[in-house]
Structure 1
């Protein structure tokens, strides 16, 4: 099971040890297309659909059970209306840094309305790290 992460779940960031360490078989630096924002009041990022490159890490988990914990962390419940979730989980296309298509993988996105509500600040570089914010 593969998940593209761009924020606190990346290796070296605060949530990786709790949600990913010991559960991940492989990590690959990768990118997707979207629009990345820093959420200043919360200290983490959100990504929307878009055309900019967003760099992150593709995590390959040992099994699908990790999605249960990740859904809880990201405040995503597939049974709720999308606007009531903080993030929503969707399959997106991901590429190696060399530009080769890896395929569709899970990622957590935010609705543009939620980004606006949380006063998101656009990150033109497409790369977020806690030490920069």
Structure 2
């Protein structure tokens, strides 16, 4: 189970440990990290990062736990999400979702960033049926 006094975020792309944005946004701030599954559909976008869309397939990633809830504002900015803005203007939406361990036992609720299926397809996303995204060597100017 996830500790109730921490901020929990499910990550499946460039924020995973070892990926491009982990050092800038997470390193030294994460107090716990556990491999996990969220339900959805995973797309690889041509811009060099993934998108999770609504669905029922397993999407593999990590639940990162933070003591500082202020981290969420920095992640929102990275993900193009304005909690007070119009969903039509956000690149991603953020919501709480149930996450599972690798045995499919519920861990609890974590924040995750997701994209509408239509938007992922319009951006030229390729569906990843296996539910895993592998990073690339992204140029310095790439941002989500």
Q: 1:132 Cα deviation (Å)?
A: 9.9
Do the aligned residues in 1 keep the contact of 2:20 with 2:137 (CA within 8 Å)?
no
| Aligned equivalents of 1:130, 1:22: Cα separation in 2 | 21
User: Out of 21, 36, 61, which is 2:27 matched to?
Assistant: 21
Q: SS of the counterpart of 1:18?
A: helix
Compute the TM-score of the two structures, normalised by the length of structure 2: 0.88
Q: Does 1:102 align with 2:112?
A: no
**Aligned ranges for residues 1-133 of structure 1 at < 5 Å?**
1-40=7-46, 42-131=47-136
Question: Which structure has greater helix proportion?
Answer: 1
5+ residue gaps, structure 1: none
Contact between 2:94 and 2:112, CA under 8 Å: does it hold in 1? yes
- The aligned length equals 132
How big is the alpha-carbon RMSD for the aligned residues of Structure 1 and Structure 2? 1.4
Gaps of 5+ in 2: 1-6, 139-144
Contact 1:38 1:46 (C-alpha < 8 Å) held by counterparts:
yes
Q: Whose strand proportion is higher, 1 or 2?
A: 1
The structural deviation recorded for 1:78 is 1.3
